[in-house]
Amino acid sequence: MGVTTIRKIALETCEVIWNQLGPIYLSPPNEDEWKKISNDFLLMWGMPNCIGAVDGKHINLTCPSNSGSQFYNYKGAYSIILMAICDANYTFTCVDIGAYGSQSDGGVFAASSFGDLLLSQKYKELDLPGRKQLPDSNLLLPHYFVGDAAFPLKESLMKPFAGRTCDAKKEYFNMRLSRARRVVENAFGILTVRWRILRQTMNMSPISATKVVQATVVLHNFLKMSPGNADYITPELVDQYEGMEVIEG
């Protein structure tokens, strides 16, 4: 069987995985599921009302033909971007795949269908839960996602306080936010370790690379959510904490 035929079969398989398993293992959460995610972030990472961590990951490619600098990223490579939100347990809940590598994380998120609805405060269309009282407080605050400094600060999107001269309260907030935000970084790390094609520069078109990444994301969720796959995520793959100290996975 020729290389071209094998490549065609592999890409068709990726499409089938995305089309058939995606609606099952990567469907948008409903309101009750968002509430469970919020509870998990509080119990596991100490962030009340948090319903997801968002970040982008560059998927390196060989230089696409006739693309100019569209795919050329700040790291000096060509790439497409995997923009993802994950829950407190390293499961992807929403993804946008295939944006130009030259774009910023904040720009890619804002241009995605989910990001556009969130930043436009169309929460009902996302089935997000309403405001909730903070623990040991009378404050009613909205649910929100956490991101790094590349993302805009919005009612529904928290980012760290900027600057090196933050007071103790701001530093503590930044630490708690960082712990919650690193969940999505760990999810990317698990994805890359388990699906080794993501470690290398893909010698394929951006469209084909998008199909491959779509399949790996869905299979990540499938394996994580299916019984009998407890060893898919092992302790050394994720960050561990000893008090305030981070032991990176």
The confidence band for 243, taking pLDDT boundaries of 50, 70 and 90, is: low
Tens digits of residue pLDDT in 45-68? 999 999 999 999 999 999 998 888
Strands of 87-199, DSSP E:
92-100, 132-133, 140-141, 144-146, 157-158
Contact call for residues 91 and 224 (beta carbons, < 8 A): yes
Q: What is the mean pLDDT of residues 172-181?
A: 93
State the pTM of this model: 0.92
Average pLDDT score, the chain: 92
The confidence band for 229, taking pLDDT boundaries of 50, 70 and 90, is: confident
The confidence band for 223, taking pLDDT boundaries of 50, 70 and 90, is: very high
With a CB cutoff of 8 Å and minimum separation 6, the contacts of 85 are 52, 53, 54, 92, 93, 94, 95, 114, 145, 184
Structure tokens at 88: 């407190």
Model confidence at 163: pLDDT above 90: no
Q: What is the pLDDT of residue 66?
A: 80
Contact call for residues 140 and 132 (beta carbons, < 8 A): yes
